[in-house]
Amino acid sequence: KSVIGYLSESPEYAGVRNGLEGAISDGFVEVDTEGKFKFVHDKVREAAYNLIPDSDKKQFHYRLGKELHSYCDGKDVGDTIFLIASQINHGKEWILGDKDLSIAIAELNMKAGEKALDGCDHKTAYSYFGAALSLLPNDHWRSHYDLSLRLSFLMAGAAKSCCQYDEAEQLLRGISGRTRCFEDKLPSYFLLSQIFQAQGKVVDAYNTCSFVLLQLGETIPDSVTPEAAKTMVEDTLKMYEEIYDDDWLERKMEGNTLRTLIKIYNVMAFSSYFCKSYSMVVYFTCKAVQLSLRNGICEHTPLSFLQFTGNETNDDDAVLCYRIAKNAMSLQERFDMATQIPELYFNFYGRIAWRFEPFQAGIGKLRQGFEAGLSSGHADMGLHCAIQVIKTTILSGANLSSILKEIDYYLHLLKTY
């Protein structure tokens, strides 16, 4: 339903359609091809708006937003939620005077921010989450714990996607200091490790994950010998052959802690590549795969399998690893994994599939991974996809001049984002 439709149901704005018909007759407003009302010119809109005294404009927007909110609360209003939130936010001074209303409008802004995230508009989401946090009472962590936890985490995620890393880190450390149990801290520690990775602080990312594993009762070796790593790979491949079947595919991993654990292993495998030995990379990829094989699949299983197969360099296992990787990619259909596309495509098409599939097919997918990384707020992984595009394009025998143009294109987009 349109905004006019919602307002028409309100006693205060019941005559809005008649007013618009009059404006159309007078030549100030017209109806476009989509049936929407619009002013015939920006100057007309500006003149109409200036009829409202400056001292009344805040209240005008606030009353309009509040009226829309009262009729739309609890309904799926689509993109109209942005208009409602932006209008009612003009009345912050009145909202803060009513504790119940301030919580309701904070939740409205949170929903608007989540809607913006669905459309990959991270800056808009960041703005709405900030507005929501500003409406919470001083004791909100005590009086509205669940809302505070969710909203602070969403704000930190949006800040990270907007490259506001210091603010994101501050928010996450604030969450860690106020949560009631360690399990509530886990998503924040994971996001913090991603923030460190995005800045190239792989040692900090590794240490953050190490701390989490220790708190969960896991032991982390100081080092792993090449012989031990080889044995772990052999054991993991054997375990896969024994366990992977239709029954295992129907078995879902239970518990947030296990799912967090596999995410942490994935981060540590990536970080170890830059700050530890290759054997440590193998250790963490094997631990992640074995955890999933023992406990069932989750949305992080595909990435763990891809990291494992991408690091296996034994040619004798190449065909088996390619089959494992293909099976991992097929699991995308079972989960909402849109935000993982950059990592999945980087690992599969950039590190595994090129040995078995045409270069051009992989190049196209890696380009999609780059674009998905920028739109989802994971520009760092998008960069890795772009690097693999360049490498694979060179191997495919493409013209060097065209490759240079593509490099300039990637650099321009990365600088922009």
List the structure tokens of 121. Answer: 């508009």
DSSP 264-281: HHHHHHHHHHHHS-HHHH
pTM metric for this prediction: 0.84
Structural contact between residues 4 and 20, judged by C-beta atoms closer than 8 angstroms? yes
Per-residue pLDDT tens listing for the chain (417 residues): 678 877 877 777 888 888 888 999 999 989 888 888 889 999 999 998 999 999 999 999 999 998 888 877 777 888 889 999 999 999 999 999 999 999 999 999 999 999 999 888 999 999 999 999 999 999 999 999 999 999 999 999 999 998 899 999 999 999 999 999 999 999 999 999 999 998 989 999 999 999 999 999 999 999 999 999 999 999 999 999 999 999 999 999 988 889 989 999 999 999 999 999 999 999 999 999 999 999 999 999 999 999 999 987 678 889 999 999 999 999 988 888 888 999 999 999 999 998 898 888 899 999 999 989 888 888 888 889 999 999 888 888 888 888 888 888 888 887 776
At 12 the pLDDT is 79
Reported as a single tens digit per residue, the pLDDT across 49-88 is 999 999 999 999 999 998 888 877 777 888 889 999 999 9
Instruction: Give the pLDDT confidence score for residue 71 in this predicted structure.
Output: 76
Alpha helices (H) in 135-255, listed in sequence order = 140-143, 145-161, 165-178, 182-198, 202-215, 226-243, 246-249
- The three-class DSSP label of residue 74 is coil
pLDDT at 32: 87
Give the whole-angstrom CA distance, residue 330 versus residue 325: 9
- Return the sign of the alpha-carbon dihedral for residues 244, 358, 315, 306: negative
Please tell me the distance from the alpha carbon of residue 270 to that of residue 272, in angstroms, as a whole number.
Answer: 6
Please answer whether residues 204 and 257 qualify as being in contact, where contact means their C-beta atoms are separated by less than 8 angstroms: no
163-174 per-position pLDDT tens digit: 899 999 999 999
Residue 377, by phi and psi: left (phi above 0), alpha (psi -120 to 50) or beta? left
How confident is the model at residue 313, as a pLDDT? 67
The pLDDT, as a whole number, for residue 361 is: 84
pLDDT for res 322? 94
User: Would you call 208 exposed, middle or buried from its count of C-beta atoms within 10 A (0-12, 13-18, 19+)?
Assistant: buried
Compute the C-alpha angle 107/112/113, nearest 5°.
95
Separation between Cα atoms, residue 289 and residue 56, nearest integer Å: 62
Given a contact cutoff of 8 angstroms between Cβ atoms, the answer to whether 338 and 372 are in contact is yes
